[in-house]
Amino acid sequence: MAAPHSSQEETNFARLSRLLINIGTHVLRGVFDSIHPPLKLHLVLTNARSFTILKHLKAKRILNTKQWNTLYPSVKGSVNSQTFDITLLFLLLRNLCGLSPPTTGWTVMPPISDLSLEADLVRIKHYRNELFAHMPQMHLTNAEFSKYWEEISTLLIRLGGRQVEADIRSLLVEAMDPDDQEYYNGILRSWEERDDRLLKEVYEIKRLIMQGNENPPPLPPPPPPSVIQMQNVFHPGAGVGAVFNVGAVEHVSSDTRSLQVINARALDARSSSDSSASRCLTLPDILPQQPPPDE
C-alpha cells in the first residue's frame, strides 16, 4: 500500500497554486493594463472589432456568461481589470492585444531560447496544466515543488519585473492554513471542471459525426476527468482522427452549429439512399472553414 501523502506535500501543492493564481494573475493584469490602460478599457471593449471577437468567443462557449458580464457590467463604463481572473486575462491577451503566436504555436511549450511575451504566456498555461495533472492527489513532493517554484518564479519575475520578486519571496515562507489550501484548490477545481466540460462537448461532437458512417467504429467510453484533461482530441477542420494538444481545446468551433444540427446532418447522411451517405462526415463538412481568432 502506498504511503499517505504528508501535509507538507499538500501544502506544497497549495502554495504553488497560490503562486500561479495570485501572483500570476497580478502579473498578467499588469501586462494587459500596459497594453489597454484601465481608463480606456471600456472604449476598447465596446469598439466594433473587440465586441465582435468577444461575441464570437461567447457563442463558442469559450467565454462564459459570468466572464461576459464581467466585461460588460450593467453599469456602463464600470468595467475594471481588477475583476478579471487569470483565465479571462489570458483569453483577452491572446485575442485583443495584437499578439502573434510563438513559432511553436499557442499550445506547444516554446524553446527556452524564446523569451518573448507570447512564449511566456504559453508557459503560464503549460504550468497550469501541470498543476491539473496533480489534481487527483493535490500533492507535490519537495523536489517537484522546488523545480516548479523556480521555473514559475523566474517566468513571473521576467513578466512582472523585480517588483514582484519580494511578493514571491514572502509567499514562499508564509503560513498556509487549511482554509487557504481549500480556497486555492477550489479555484483549480473550477478551472479543471470547465476544461472537462469543453472536452466532453468535443467528444460528443465526435460521436455524433461518426454516426454519419453506416458502420461507425465503436468509440470507447469517455475517459475520467483525471485522464481526459491530459489527452489529445481531434483538431477542428482536420476530420475525425486528427489530434492536437489538450491545451488547444479552446479552438473547438461550435459557434454556428449546435449539437442538434450536427446530429441532424449525421442522421440525414445515414438515411440517404445516395452511396455517399455511408461516408463518415468530417469536421470541414459541418464547421466553418475559416479559422476563428486565436482563443
For CA atoms 22, 28, 33, 38, the dihedral sign is: negative
H or E element, residue 164: none
Confidence grade of residue 214 (pLDDT, cut at 50, 70, 90): low
pLDDT digits (tens, 9 = 90+) for 36-94: 999 999 999 999 999 999 999 999 888 999 999 999 999 988 999 999 998 899 999 99
Which has more confidence, 23 or 252?
Answer: 23
Q: 92 is written with which cell numbers? A: 483577452
Res 157: pLDDT: 96
Arithmetic mean of pLDDT, 174-194 = 72
pLDDT at 149 over 90: yes
Q: What are phi and psi of 233, to 5 degrees?
A: -130, 165
Three-state DSSP state, 233: strand
pLDDT digits (tens, 9 = 90+) for 233-271: 333 333 333 322 333 333 333 333 344 443 444 444 444
pLDDT at 226 over 60: no
Q: 202 is written with which cell numbers? A: 468535443
Which has more confidence, 139 or 213?
Answer: 139
C-alpha to C-alpha distance for 141 and 126, rounded to whole angstroms:
19
- Tell the burial category of 46 from Cβ atoms under 10 Å away from its Cβ (0-12, 13-18, 19+): middle
Which has more confidence, 3 or 118?
Answer: 118
81, 105, 114 from 111: Cα distances, Å: 31, 11, 6
